[in-house]
Structure 1
Amino acid sequence: FLLGAIQGPLRIVTKIGNQVWYPVTKMLICALEKGIVRLRNRGKISDEHKDHDILKNIVRNICNVEVSIDHCKQALSEGKKMSHICDHLDRSTRKIIYRENYLFGSQTNLQMSASAAKCREEYSKRQKRKWVSEGQDPFQDFAFTLQPKMLEAWPRMKCSSCGKTAKVFCPRCLVPLNPPAPGLPEAEKQTTNAEELEKKLEFRLPEVKLPFNVDILLHPQENRKKATALHLCVLAPKQCRVLKFPEDLPNYDPKTTVLLFPDEKSSLLSDQKIDVSNLKTLLVVESTWQKANGVARHPKLQHIPTVRIEEKEGTFWRHQELGKGFLSTLEATYYFLIDHFKQDKQSGYDRRYDDLMVIYTHMHRRITRLKFSGDGKKAKKDNPPASEESRTSMPKHWIVDSS
């Protein structure tokens, strides 16, 4: 009667005739312990049936394993503790623990589960994408007007347009949410340069001037909070806009417009097939890679020449299986601006567009720090912020007394 609720996460290992056997994993023990408690609370199990007897019968029927009563009692107790441990771990680490085999009567079950550091190390080996550590910051040479670390202290502000609260900028209205400047002391307010001092105290997002307009083709199913191209509208608001695809798509002049998309017809600016002096509009696609082809193949864009950038190693944290050379929309636009500057000015890049990456750098450093510290979104939501001591050692609620 519990098989229907737990057979989803189980893996089939043996099939003899019509009989299917499942492995005894920690996922199975935790699921059975929770399922028995849930059914007993709902009155589906009478008081005359003992929990350990139910567990013994289920393990015999679906796993083909005979277990003693004492070991069943121990398994129920350890299943409850393992569930408590996994509730405080991130999803990836929890998966590794659940896949481990459960050995009835063994004293290593909880010790292996409580070793969160071991699980994280194993998970990092399985990751296909290499994440840089804070000591290998890819943005350490950028010349920012406002340092990204300053954004850490910015509070959540209410947007004056939509009334929603957000941090740094409003993803709906695409306006910066600058914090109020601290007031000057009364003695300094009477001075002649009081206005200049107040401006110096203000922390505002920089505004970047671009050599051409940028139209962002936003896929209707794309999450605006995850769209990095929207940073362009916040940091270069006079020359960037978001177009809802496909209803807002106008007719572009192919002589003054290019589409940034790496297809088989695209060319590099260094190939000199495109006159950069006539470029007035750059089109960029904001969507997942699976849906980007559908946007780029729209009939209104077939006559627009496509351009690409030289292969770069991306730093975007969003998972994708296509490799390191597939960048986020903001990264691709930033590198295209650098190529355009070098081609137009015939000189080296002077860091004038680095401020376009300030919000991205802030988010990248924050997510990288959470990844290396092991604080997942669920763990951070359910628990208070960890102290510096707990970041370097195992939290106390992960240490379980196996006795």
Structure 2
Amino acid sequence: MAFELAATPFRRLKLASFAPLISAERAVCPKCKSSRKYFCYTCFIPVGISESSLPTVELPLQVDIIKHSLERVGKSTSSHARILSPHSVNIHIYPDIPSYSDTNKVLLLFPGPETPSLDSLLPGKTTEHKQCSTGVSSAKRQRLQRPLCERLIVVDSTWSQAKRITADDRLHDIPRVQLKQAETFFWRKQSKPSHYLATIEAIYYFFKQLHELQEERSYDGQYDNLLYFFAFQYLLIKNKKETK
């Protein structure tokens, strides 16, 4: 079975080798004793694969994923983020929502007609772009000096369920942000427009766009491995369709 990225939307990403996944066998999760392949989506650990063989992604912010209790765990991509970025990502099952004492340090990633885009929230965005001696614009220098937030909240649910979660009083005062339009490559058919992203895609694009707006060095695939499992599943389904 071929696992070539060349003819896929992921061809420009810097992804770790899929070799550990290709050779993986179904096994029993050491925690919940359920039969799993690749990882356990309830315990959020690799199964049948050594943890050291998987890539790890370090994120500059903590991420809280609020997952609806009716969301199908086996098809949710939030587990990808928890497994690949275990030190930065936590998953909470709604109605469990963490307590945020300072809402100025938190952002809720959720689109809406009046929700500001990521770039419009960054300090110094409207500053005149005068080049500094280092080659970094004065606007970008201001953005580098002031962090956007300390925590990011992402909702993992169907769109109808997400509206209920985001209407929760505990999230009412938390500022919202949305991404510049990005296209989903989710393999299941959906009735929503192509810019409605899977959870792991939304997290990936947030950090990629944040890096491009804030960092002096250009983006060089630092967060690409967030899509490691996602791209592999895309290839599995693509190969299955082609061999029918």
Question: If the TM-score is normalised by the length of the shorter chain, which range does it land in?
Answer: 0.7 to 0.9
Contact kept, 8 Å, 1:134 with 1:369, in 2: the verdict is no
Q: What is the letter of the counterpart of residue 168 of structure 1?
A: Y
Matched, 1:267 2:116: yes
- Match of 1:329? 199
Matched, 1:153 2:153: no
Give the whole-Å Cα distance in 1 for the aligned partners of 2:179 and 2:217.
18
Contact kept, 8 Å, 1:212 with 1:281, in 2: the verdict is yes
Give the whole-Å Cα distance in 2 for the aligned partners of 1:178 and 1:282.
31
TM score, norm. by length of structure 1: 0.51
- Match of 1:142? 13
Q: What is the letter of the counterpart of residue 8 of structure 2?
A: D
Q: What is the letter of the counterpart of residue 206 of structure 2?
A: F
Deviates more, 1:170-179 or 1:220-229: 170-179
CA displacement at 1:163 relative to structure 2: 1.2
Matched, 1:365 2:214: no
- SS of the residue corresponding to residue 172 of structure 1 reads coil
Give the whole-Å Cα distance in 2 for the aligned partners of 1:252 and 1:327.
29
Matched, 1:171 2:41: yes
- Match of 2:188? 318
Give the whole-Å Cα distance in 1 for the aligned partners of 2:60 and 2:98.
22
CA displacement at 1:326 relative to structure 2: 0.9
Specify which structure has the higher proportion of strand: 2
Contact kept, 8 Å, 2:66 with 2:92, in 1: the verdict is yes
- Match of 1:285? 155
Give the whole-Å Cα distance in 1 for the aligned partners of 2:218 and 2:208.
9
The alpha-carbon distance between structure 1 residues 336 and 369, as it changes in their structure 2 partners (threshold 3 A), is: same
Q: Higher relative contact order at CA 8 Å, sep ≥6: structure 1 or structure 2?
A: 2
- Match of 1:228? 77
- SS of the residue corresponding to residue 282 of structure 1 reads strand
Q: What is the letter of the counterpart of residue 12 of structure 2?
A: D
Deviates more, 1:337-346 or 1:357-366: 337-346
The alpha-carbon distance between structure 1 residues 366 and 346, as it changes in their structure 2 partners (threshold 3 A), is: same
Percent same amino acid at aligned positions? 29
The alpha-carbon distance between structure 1 residues 164 and 219, as it changes in their structure 2 partners (threshold 3 A), is: same
Q: What is the letter of the counterpart of residue 25 of structure 2?
A: P
Matched, 1:339 2:199: no
Give the whole-Å Cα distance in 2 for the aligned partners of 1:253 and 1:348.
31
Contact kept, 8 Å, 2:26 with 2:48, in 1: the verdict is no
User: Deviations along 1:39-61, whole A, 9 cap, x unmatched?
Assistant: xxxxxxxxxxxxxxxxxxxxxxx
Give the whole-Å Cα distance in 1 for the aligned partners of 2:12 and 2:72.
30
CA displacement at 1:162 relative to structure 2: 1.0
Give the whole-Å Cα distance in 1 for the aligned partners of 2:152 and 2:39.
23
CA displacement at 1:273 relative to structure 2: 4.8
How many residues of Structure 1 are paired with residues of Structure 2 in the alignment? 220
CA displacement at 1:313 relative to structure 2: 1.5
Q: What is the letter of the counterpart of residue 209 of structure 1?
A: E
Contact kept, 8 Å, 1:152 with 1:362, in 2: the verdict is no
TM score, norm. by length of structure 2: 0.83
- Match of 1:258? 107
- SS of the residue corresponding to residue 283 of structure 1 reads strand
- Match of 2:130? none
User: Deviation above 6 Å: which 4+ runs of structure 1?
Assistant: none
Contact kept, 8 Å, 1:267 with 1:273, in 2: the verdict is no
User: Deviations along 1:302-336, whole A, 9 cap, x unmatched?
Assistant: 11111111111110023221211111111011010
Task: Give matches, 1:91-240, under 5 Å.
Answer: 136-145=7-16, 147-148=17-18, 150-179=20-49, 204-240=53-89
Give the whole-Å Cα distance in 2 for the aligned partners of 1:327 and 1:134.
20
Contact kept, 8 Å, 2:25 with 2:48, in 1: the verdict is no
Give the whole-Å Cα distance in 1 for the aligned partners of 2:54 and 2:48.
7
User: Deviations along 1:194-235, whole A, 9 cap, x unmatched?
Assistant: xxxxxxxx9611111110100010001001111112111100
Contact kept, 8 Å, 2:110 with 2:177, in 1: the verdict is yes
CA displacement at 1:356 relative to structure 2: 1.1
Give the whole-Å Cα distance in 1 for the aligned partners of 2:30 and 2:239.
31
Q: What is the letter of the counterpart of residue 181 of structure 2?
A: E
Give the whole-Å Cα distance in 1 for the aligned partners of 2:117 and 2:101.
21
Give the whole-Å Cα distance in 2 for the aligned partners of 1:252 and 1:166.
38
Give the whole-Å Cα distance in 2 for the aligned partners of 1:264 and 1:283.
19
Specify which structure has the higher proportion of helix: 1
Give the whole-Å Cα distance in 1 for the aligned partners of 2:204 and 2:20.
22
Give 5+ residue unaligned stretches, structure 2. 124-142
Give the whole-Å Cα distance in 2 for the aligned partners of 1:177 and 1:372.
28
- Match of 1:106? none
Q: What is the letter of the counterpart of residue 66 of structure 2?
A: L
- SS of the residue corresponding to residue 136 of structure 1 reads coil
Q: What is the letter of the counterpart of residue 11 of structure 2?
A: Q
